[in-house]
Amino acid sequence: MSLFAIALQVTSLGATNYAADAPMTPPTAPPTIADEFDGRTVDRATWRFDTAFNEKGWFNNERQYYAEARPENSRIENGALVIEARRETLDKARFPDWGGQGYSSAKLVSRQPMGYGFYEVRAKLPCERGGWPAIWLLPQGGNWPDMGEIDIMEMVGWDANVIHATLHSGSYNHAKGTQRGAQKRIPTACTAFHDYQLDWRPDSITIGVDGRAYMRVTNDQPGDKGAWPFDRPYHLILNLAVGGDWGGKQGIDDAAFPMRLSIDHVRYWRAP
């Protein structure tokens, strides 16, 4: 969700210029990596919690504190991962890295990097104003936007049920207004689970939902890292931000808390 663009004031991180319509089918083989969230707690061997900017404050003027393995903010419930954002003031004595935020949430990052292949994250989104759920990928190391960013799904609560798929790179990013992506309306995004999917290949990135692509970008400038840095493994990120330049564009509904991002499963098939 372009968390490295701290100084930017933006109205939208999405794009509509690479729309597509084509079938997307997960491989029939067992996934290379999967979390069905059927345990009792978040699997710490699979996920880590990103809390790095709690004290300084998160990017894009977001308003949340990301808690480390705190059940109020991240837990397994009825066979799903629940990331819950809450309106609360924390105790600095108990949370030394608290930066004064008025909201708490969680951000999970896969410990294992992934690369080319097929991804599927089955999720139900929060539609409350001020929420900003995201399923996305970043590599380890490098400077944004040159490092590249793949946004499988973003949605802002004030524009509920409209999901966004977006790519950012050195040449194509929201700082320049050149980001590449598309959007799609899913009327039940906040009341039912849907499969958010990514097919990542050396020559193309296709993103869709429920077996149907709605965005496709091809590697039409081979060898140009500014256009296509997507040639190394990235880490998968699951988070629910609060407010920010885009998520908080129309304010935050404090009466709507707590709000939840629920994830039924994460599956990844590595490309042969």
**73-103 as b/e, with b when 16 or more CB fall inside 10 Å?**
bbbbeeebbbbbbbbeebeeeebebbeebbb
The CATH code of the domain at 19-270 is 2.60.120.200
With bands split at pLDDT 50, 70 and 90, how would you rate the model's confidence at 15?
Answer: confident
Per-residue pLDDT band for 23 (boundaries 50, 70, 90) equals very high
pLDDT per residue over 100-128, tens digit each? 999 999 999 999 999 999 999 999 999 99
Residue 8 has pLDDT above 50, yes or no: no
pLDDT at 5: 39
pLDDT classification of 12: cutoffs 50, 70, 90: low
Determine the average pLDDT of the residues in 196-210. Answer: 98
Q: How many Å apart are CA 70 and CA 17, to the nearest integer?
A: 39
The pLDDT of residue 13 is 74
Domain regions of the chain by residue span? 19-270
Which among 78, 126, 79, 127 has a CA at the least distance from the CA of 106?
126
Residues of the chain above pLDDT 90, percent? 93
The catalytic site residues sit at 149, 154
Q: Is residue 156 over pLDDT 60?
A: yes
pLDDT above 60 (res 3): no
pLDDT above 70 as % of the chain: 96
| 257-267 residue pLDDT tens | 999 999 999 99
Looking at residues 192-206, what average pLDDT do you find? 98
Lowest mean pLDDT among 15-19, 50-54, 104-108, 132-136: 15-19
**Residues 29-88 pLDDT 10s:** 999 999 999 999 999 999 999 999 999 999 999 999 999 999 999 999 999 999 999 999
Average pLDDT over residues 175-179: 92
Give the DSSP letter string of 191-230.
TS-EEEEEEEETTEEEEEETTEEEEEEE--STT-TTT---
Mean pLDDT of 195-221: 98
- Residue 16: the pLDDT is 84
